[in-house]
Structure formats: structure tokens, C-alpha cells
């Protein structure tokens, strides 16, 4: 307490805090039914997603050329220590929530965090528990889920830990939202956020528009899936892919594993990731267990489950949901195909008078904390049974330099265009970034 703060001032402060607490209590009890999207009877809540904050290990390709990479403590096939969220949604009805199965996910955080999808106006519940850090039992950090850029009416569910709830080790919290604004978002842990964000507690959130399911014709084609409630089909698409960008600075990851403190002003990314992987692992299908060699042995990608390949057929419209939760700007170029940017930061590009604010480009600029919705029409196929390849990559040269490894890119993947009659990919996309039906 400052010596300048008088006893009277201190009492006033205390009374103010007490009044604030009483007000919050009243607010919660009287308004919960109006503002909270779920009934408050705790036993009836079944979350859509269940996340477990913990640590783990990721695999990045290369033979290693620094003191900090690969980490000599990494398990075989892995190179780098991470924090992250494990996907324990399969246990979302477990009672008690932190079951033995869930505890088994300690040190199995995935990179990137689970992709979450909601519908506009859905009663959206995300359960979070904290399993602690296996490699750093001395760190007893809490974790949170914060939807970045999301208009949240209830601060308690915001995840910013100084003004809302954080989840200590062994505890469980249900975040409750009512998403009103469709678009492409991202979420991250907000506890010690410079560290926890960079260590990997980051993932995408998509809110689908209420317009989905109704038919709108645009450019002579009819769509039933849209990026926004556009009213005219201009954001309609056939397939959609999340392109989630983040970074790894080897020194900080090594430091966290080896009980050292990084100086964040020395920040310099060594790896640039798409969906938690770096090229050429970005080209492998969902759930691929074996990636490019890491330090001479096959990479273990079991905790990096998301492919970054964009599959489509000629003439289809494809929505790229580009998200950047790294610390440096990305310039994502789609070589040979023009994209139309229709949304920025979960906002459709419309002027005040409903004028069309979308624009064509070959390079989408995605700053840290920003999202870009870009739609392209797949060009005509060149013929034959195979696919045509177009590179999607970060044109900032350090974004594909990748720790100096020869032939290794960073934020690079492929758009693969098949003929209209091809049956190499499902006629209708099974799920977002879901290529599990592909060989
Ligand atoms: Cu955290």
C-alpha cells in the first residue's frame, strides 16, 4: 500500500471493491439467464470441445545446426519443447471431467491447438482443464482460453487472466459463448501470454454464418456455404481450409525445457509453421505419424495432426481462412492464381453504404493477430489423372528459410487442383481440412 494512500482512502477502496463484488454477484444471478447461452445447472453442461493445457514435443525437419535445436531431451522423432492444448473432446462427458484418460494427455499437447468450429448464435461451450507441465513441474502456471478479436459480452469468459478466470492445475472451467458475428478467429492462452502463445497455446476458431444452408447464386454458380451473411452469395464457397500461421524461436523453446529464461527482445523465429507443421511436413495428410527426417530419424507428427494441403477441383471456389498468431507479419502468396480478399478480422469487406470492399491480389498480408478470408476460383485442369500444383507460401524470405536447412521451406504448402470429373478427392468436402478419406 502506498504511504500516500490515507486510511480513509484505503477504506473507500475496500468498500468500492466490496460493492463491485456485490454488483458482480447481482449481475451474474439476475442476468445469467439473458446473457449466458447455457442454463447454469453445472451437471447438465456438455461442452462441444474439451481442451487440456499441458506441455509436449513437436517435430521440425532438419539435421540441426544450433545449440538450441534439436533439443537433446526430445523423444525420438521430436525436436522441440512446446506448451499447448491437447484435444480431449472424446472425454467431454467424463464424470469427473479429469478422468484417468484425460490425465494420460499430460505432455501430449498438439500443435496447432484443436480447430474449433461453431455456428452463429450457437450455445458454445468449451471446457478447459490444466494438466500441468511434465517437463517443468516447478512451473505452476494457470492456463486460459481467450478468443482473440471476439466480441464477448461476459468478461468472465474472456480468458484475460487479470480480469477474468484462469484455470490452475487440476481444475476445470467451462467457457460459455454466444457467437453473433461470423468469421475467422483465433484463440490462445492468455496466461503469461508472450511465453504461452509463442510456446504453442494457439489455434483457430471459425464461426459459420446463419446464411449457411440457404442457396445464393453468384457468378452463375449456386452456393450453400458462405464466409459471411453477404445476402448475395459473394462469399460463397465449395471448400474451405484453415491456414494457421505461427512461429518457433528455438532458443526460447530450449530455454523453457532447460529452466532458463529467454530474453524476448532477442526474438527471432527459426521455424515458420502452417497448422503446426513446417514444409515439407505441411504436405502430409491429416494425422500423418511420420514426417520428414528430424536429426536423421523420421519425424513423429502424431502431435501435429493437421495437413496444410488445399485440395480442390477446377472451377470450384475455395475459401482460405488465413490466420497469423506468430509475432511477425506474413505475406502469403498464391502463385499463379488470383485470390479475392472478402474479409478481414472476422469482418466482411463492405463499405458503409454496402459497397463492395473486397479486392483481388496474389499476396494476402496477414499481420500478427489478424485473420484474412480469401476466396479463389480453381483454374482449369491441364488434363490427365493427376493434379496441378500451385504453391502457397510466405514470400518474406525468412518465412521459408527454415532454420537454414537445405531444401526445407517454412510456411509453404500446395494448392492441388484436380479435374472436375476426378474422384481422387471427395465430391463434397467431408470436413474442414479433413482429408482423412484420401490415401
Ligand atoms: Cu497457458
> What is the percentage of the chain residues whose pLDDT exceeds 90?
71
pLDDT grade, residue 254 (50/70/90)? very high
310-326 average pLDDT score:
96
The mean pLDDT of the chain is 87
φ, ψ of residue 317 to 5 degrees: the values are -95, 135
- For residue 65, the model assigns a pLDDT of 65
What digits encode the pLDDT tens for the residues 227-253?
Answer: 999 999 999 999 999 999 999 999 999
Domain ranges, ordered by start, for the chain = 42-418
How many whole angstroms from 405 Cα to the centroid of ligand 1?
A: 30
| Of residues 409, 248, 249, 295, the one with CA closest to residue 65 | 295
Confidence of residue 326 (pLDDT cuts 50, 70, 90): very high
CA 166 to centroid of ligand 1, rounded, Å = 9
Cβ density class 156-184: b for 16+ within 10 Å, e for less:
bbbbebeebbbbebeebbbbbbbbebbbb
192 Cα to the center of ligand 1, angstroms? 7
pLDDT at 404: 52
Does position 84 have pLDDT exceeding 80, yes or no? yes
- Residue 135 alpha carbon to ligand 1 centre in Å: 15
- pLDDT (0 to 100) of residue 418: 95
Q: How far is the CA of 66 from the centre of ligand 1 (A)?
A: 27
Q: How far is the CA of 207 from the centre of ligand 1 (A)?
A: 23
In this prediction, residue 43 carries a pLDDT of: 53
30 pLDDT above the threshold of 70: no
Q: How far is ligand 1, taken at its centre, from the CA of residue 65, in Å?
A: 29
d(CA 306, CA 282): 8
CATH of the domain spanning 42-418, picked from 2.60.40.420, 3.40.50.300, 2.60.40.60, 3.90.480.20: 2.60.40.420
Q: What is the pLDDT of residues 96-149, one digit of tens each?
A: 999 999 999 999 999 999 999 999 999 999 999 999 999 999 999 999 999 998
Please compute the mean of the pLDDT values over residues 289-295 and round it to a whole number: 84
Amino acid at each position: 500500500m502506498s504511504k500516500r494512500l490515507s486510511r480513509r482512502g484505503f477504506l473507500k477502496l475496500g468498500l468500492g471493491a466490496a460493492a463491485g463484488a456485490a454488483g458482480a454477484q447481482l449481475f451474474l444471478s439476475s442476468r445469467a439467464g439473458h446473457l449466458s447461452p447455457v442454463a447454469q445447472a453445472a451437471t447438465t453442461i456438455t461442452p462441444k470441445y474439451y481442451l487440456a493445457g499441458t506441455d509436449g514435443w513437436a517435430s521440425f525437419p532438419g539435421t540441426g545446426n544450433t545449440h538450441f535445436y534439436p533439443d537433446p531431451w526430445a523423444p525420438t522423432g521430436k525436436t522441440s519443447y512446446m506448451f499447448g492444448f491437447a484435444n480431449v473432446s472424446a472425454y467431454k462427458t467424463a464424470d469427473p471431467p479429469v478422468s484417468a484418460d484425460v490425465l494420460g494427455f499430460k505432455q501430449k499437447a498438439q500443435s496447432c491447438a484443436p480447430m474449433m468450429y461453431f455456428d452463429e448464435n450457437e450455445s458454445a461451450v468449451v471446457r478447459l482443464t490444466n494438466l500441468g507441465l511434465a517437463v517443468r513441474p516447478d512451473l505452476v502456471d494457470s492456463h486460459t482460453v481467450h478468443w482473440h478479436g471476439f466480441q464477448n459480452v461476459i468478461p468472465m469468459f474472456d480468458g484475460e487472466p487479470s480480469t477474468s478466470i484462469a484455470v490452475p492445475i487440476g481444475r476445470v472451467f467451462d467457457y460459455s459463448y454466444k457467437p453473433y458475428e461470423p468469421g475467422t478467429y483465433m484463440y490462445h492462452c492468455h496466461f503469461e501470454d508472450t511465453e504461452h502463445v509463442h510456446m504453442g497455446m494457439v489455434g483457430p476458431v471459425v464461426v459459420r454464418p446463419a446464411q449457411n444452408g440457404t442457396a445464393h447464386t453468384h457468378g452463375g454458380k449456386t452456393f450453400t456455404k458462405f464466409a459471411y451473411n453477404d445476402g448475395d452469395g459473394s462469399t460463397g464457397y465449395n471448400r474451405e481450409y484453415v491456414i494457421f500461421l505461427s512461429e518457433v524461436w528455438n532458443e526460447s523453446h530450449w530455454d523453457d525445457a532447460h529452466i532458463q529464461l529467454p530474453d524476448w527482445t532477442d526474438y527471432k523465429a527459426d521455424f515458420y509453421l502452417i497448422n503446426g507443421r513446417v514444409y515439407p511436413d505441411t504436405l502430409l495428410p491429416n494425422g500423418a505419424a511420420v514426417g520428414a527426417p528430424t536429426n536423421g530419424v523420421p519425424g513423429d507428427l502424431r502431435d501435429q495432426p493437421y495437413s496444410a494441403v488445399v485440395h480442390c477441383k477446377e472451377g470450384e471456389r475455395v475459401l482460405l481462412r488465413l490466420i497469423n498468431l506468430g509475432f511477425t507479419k506474413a505475406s502469403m502468396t498464391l502463385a499463379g492464381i488470383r485470390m479475392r480478399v472478402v474479409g478481414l478480422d472476422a469482418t466482411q469487406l463492405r463499405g458503409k453504404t454496402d459497397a463492395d470492399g473486397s479486392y483481388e491480389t496474389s499476396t494476402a498480408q496477414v499481420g500478427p493477430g489478424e485473420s484474412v478470408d480469401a476466396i479463389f476460383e480453381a483454374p482449369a485442369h491441364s488434363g490427365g489423372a493427376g493434379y496441378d500444383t500451385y504453391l502457397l507460401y510466405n514470400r518474406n524470405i525468412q518465412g521459408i528459410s527454415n532454420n537454414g536447412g537445405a531444401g526445407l521451406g517454412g510456411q509453404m504448402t500446395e494448392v492441388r487442383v484436380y479435374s472436375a470429373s476426378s474422384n481422387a478427392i471427395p465430391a463434397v468436402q467431408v470436413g474442414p481440412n479433413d482429408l482423412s478419406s484420401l490415401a
